[in-house]
Structure 1
Amino acid sequence: MLFYLLSICSFGGILMLRLMGKSRQFQSYLLVAAVLSLFAGMLQGNESPQIVWIRYAVMLFRVLFGLISPFAFLFFGLALVFNGVLLINKEGWAKRYALLLAVGIFILLMDLLFLLNYFVFHHYLIWRFMRLMSYFIIYFGVVLILFFVATTFYGLIPVSLDKDFIIVLGAGLLPDGRISPLLEKRLDRAIRFFRNQAEHTQKRPCRMIVSGGQGVDEPFSEAYAMKRYLIAKGIPEELIIEEDKSVNTYQNLLYSKGIMDTYKEKYKCLFITNNFHTVRSSLYAHRVGLDTDGLGAWTPFYFLPYAFLREFIAVVFMQIKGHTLLLALVLVFGLWRIYL
C-alpha cells in the first residue's frame, strides 16, 4: 500500500509541476519514482493472486541473471571495445575514446578472471574478490539504469510552445571552422522548434542564443560559426544573440542566463543539446538558477555508447560526495557479507 501511495503522490507531483510550468528535470525524476514505486507495490503484494506470475517472473529472472551475467558482461565489454575502435577510426585518436577502449578491456579481463576461476582455478580468494566486486557492479548498474531511464523519460516529456529564448549549447567545430556533425544536429533541432512555435502560436518570434567560445584549435568562436549557420538557414540575424565566452556547459548556461536577464525580468527559455546530454545540462541549469526546459537532438547510433557512458561518469562526478559515501557503505556491507 505504501508503494502505491508513493506512486500516486509522484504522478500527482508531475501533474502539479506541469500545471505550474516547472522544470522538466524534476518531472522526469518523479516519473522514474512513480514507475519504480508502482512496480515495487506490485511485487510486494504476496497475497494478491492476480500478480503471482510477476513474482515467479522475478524468481526466474534471478536464476537467469546468475547464469547469463558473465556472458552479458562479456558482450558488454566486447561492445565497448568495438565502439572505442570504431570511434578512433571515424573521429581520430583521442584520450576519451582510448578511455572507453580501456574500460571495455578491463571488463573483459574481469570476466575472463571469473570464468577461469569457475572452470579452472577454484580459488576461494578469487571468489571473495569477485563477490566483493559484484556489489560495486550492482551499485553502478542500478545507478546507470536509473540514469538511462531518467534520460529517456526526460525526452518523452513534451515542451510547450511559449519560449522567449532558445539556447543552443556549443559542441565544437571542425579544424577548418565548419560546424561539427553533433553541433549541426543541435542547430537543426533549434530551427525546427523555432519555426514550429512561430507557425502554431501568436507569440512573438523567440530569440536564439548561440553559446560557445573559441577553442585553441578553432579559427573563431563556436557562437560565430553557429550564427552563420542559422542565418544561412533563414533565421533573421536580429533574433540571434552570440555568447562567445563560455568554454563548458556550465558556463554556456550561466552566461546565457546573464544575457537573458538583461532583456527581460521574467521569461521562458529552452536549451538545445544532444539527447544524451539533456540530464547533465538540466542539472547545470538548476545550479545556475535557470528554470528551463531542454530538448535533445538526434545523435548517430555509433556515437551513443561512448557519449552516454561519458555523461554517466560526468553526472557521477557532479555528485561525487554522495556517491563516495554510498560506495563506502557498499564496501562495508560487502566485507561484512563475505567475512562475517
Structure 2
Amino acid sequence: MFAFLITGLGFVSLFFIFNAIDNRRVSNSILLTIGLFILLFGLVSIWALDDLNTKIIYYGFIGARVFVILIGVALILNGLVVIKKEGRTLPNILSLAFGLVLIIFISITFTERFLAAPSIQRIYAAFILIVGYYIFIFFNCFISAMIYQLNRPRLNQDFIIVLGCGLNGDKVTPLLASRLNTAKRFYLKQKHRTTPPLIIVSGGQGPDELVAEATAMKHYLIEQGIPEKHLIIEDKSTTTEENLRFSKKIMDGLKDTYSSIFVTNNYHTFRAGIFAKRVHLDSGGIGAHTAPYYLPTAFVREYIAILMLHKWLHLCVTILLIALLIFA
C-alpha cells in the first residue's frame, strides 16, 4: 500500500521537473494525473480496510459517474446557448456533442451487468477503452491549458506578439479586442517600469475581410493611445503557426537576442505555445479574457486541434486498443 504512495509521489515529482523544463507538453499533465491517481488509490487501499469504508467507496464511484453525467448535461445546455448566440455552425455544436458523448459513455458503464453475449462484451469493452482514452486525453489537455495559464512573464520583454483572429469587415471583433487590450495593459505596465516593448500585430487578410487583420489591429491600438512607432505589422500569416513564424522572422531581423511574449485568448494560449516551440520561438503566452459561455466550446475545439497535431500517435493507440481486444 505504501508502495503506491511512493510511486505516486514519484510521478508527481516527475511532473514538476518536466513542467519546469517545458510547460508546453500534454505528457506533463499525464504524469501528474497518473501520480495523483496512484496516490488516491494508495490512500483508498489503506482506508478501505473495513466493510463500511468499502461501501462508501462503492457509492462514491457511483456518485462520480452521476457527476460526470451532470457535466455532460451542463455541456449540452452550454452548447444550446452558444448556438443561440453564435449561430448553428459545426464548431459551435462541439460542446453539445461532447456532452452527449459523456452521457452515453457513463450511461453504458451502468449497463455492464446486462451484457451477456461475448461478442457484445467485446464491442462494449472496445467502446469503453477507446472513448475512455480520448476522454483521458481531453482531461489532460484541459489540465495542461490550466497550468499554462499560470505563466507570468516578466516586465522586461522586447516584443509583444498579438495573434490575429478575424475581423468584422475592417473592424476588430470583441474577441480580438480582448487580445489587443491585454497587450496594451502589459505594454503600459512595462512602460511605467522600464523600456516599452514593441508590439507586433500579426494577421493576414481573409477572404471575407476588407483589410488585413494586422492593419485593423494597428489602427485599434493607435486609437487606444499606443504610439505608432512602437507598432510593427505582420500581415502575411493565415494560421497561428504562421503568426509566430513570421513574427519571429521580423524579430530576428531587428535583434540578435531578445525576449518576447505572445497574446491570444486564454483558451488558445497552450496550443499557441506548442506552435511557438515548433518554430523555435522561446516565447511564453498570456491569455486574454473570453466570454464564459464560450469557453467550453472553445476548449473542445482546442482539444480537437491538439489531437490533430498528433493524429498518427492517437490513431496508433486506437488501433492498438482494438487489436488487444480482438486477440485477447
TM-score w.r.t. length of structure 1: 0.81
Match in the other structure for 1:64: 60
Instruction: Give 1:60 deviation, angstroms.
Output: 5.2
Do residues 304 (structure 1) and 304 (structure 2) align? no
Match in the other structure for 1:323: 314
- Distance change in 2, residues 1:2/1:96 (3 Å): closer
Q: Secondary structure at the match of 1:25?
A: coil
Q: Secondary structure at the match of 2:178?
A: helix
Residues 152 and 286 of structure 2 are in contact (CA less than 8 Å); yes or no, is this contact kept in structure 1?
no
Q: Deviations over 1:218-272 (max 9, x none)?
A: 1111111111111111111111111111111111111111111110111111010
Do residues 139 (structure 1) and 128 (structure 2) align? no
Do residues 191 (structure 1) and 184 (structure 2) align? yes
Instruction: Give 1:133 deviation, angstroms.
Output: 0.9
Match in the other structure for 1:20: none
Report the RMSD for the aligned CA atoms in angstroms.
Answer: 3.4
Match in the other structure for 1:288: 279
Do residues 94 (structure 1) and 89 (structure 2) align? yes
Residues 105 and 131 of structure 2 are in contact (CA less than 8 Å); yes or no, is this contact kept in structure 1?
no
Alignment of 1:190-269 (within 5 A): 190-200=183-193, 202=194, 204-269=195-260
- Distance change in 2, residues 1:13/1:311 (3 Å): closer
Q: Secondary structure at the match of 2:252?
A: helix
Do residues 172 (structure 1) and 166 (structure 2) align? yes
Structure 2 letter corresponding to 1:148? F
Instruction: Give 1:58 deviation, angstroms.
Output: 9.9
Residues 151 and 284 of structure 2 are in contact (CA less than 8 Å); yes or no, is this contact kept in structure 1?
no
- Distance change in 2, residues 1:197/1:103 (3 Å): same
Instruction: Give 1:327 deviation, angstroms.
Output: 1.5
- Distance change in 2, residues 1:37/1:134 (3 Å): closer
Instruction: Give 1:98 deviation, angstroms.
Output: 4.0
- Distance change in 2, residues 1:7/1:195 (3 Å): same
Q: Secondary structure at the match of 1:156?
A: coil
Structure 2 letter corresponding to 1:86? V
Instruction: Give 1:322 deviation, angstroms.
Output: 1.2
- Distance change in 2, residues 1:43/1:82 (3 Å): closer
Instruction: Give 1:75 deviation, angstroms.
Output: 3.5
Query: Residues of 2 paired with 1:63 and 1:132: CA distance?
Result: 25
Q: More displaced, 98-107 or 156-165?
A: 98-107
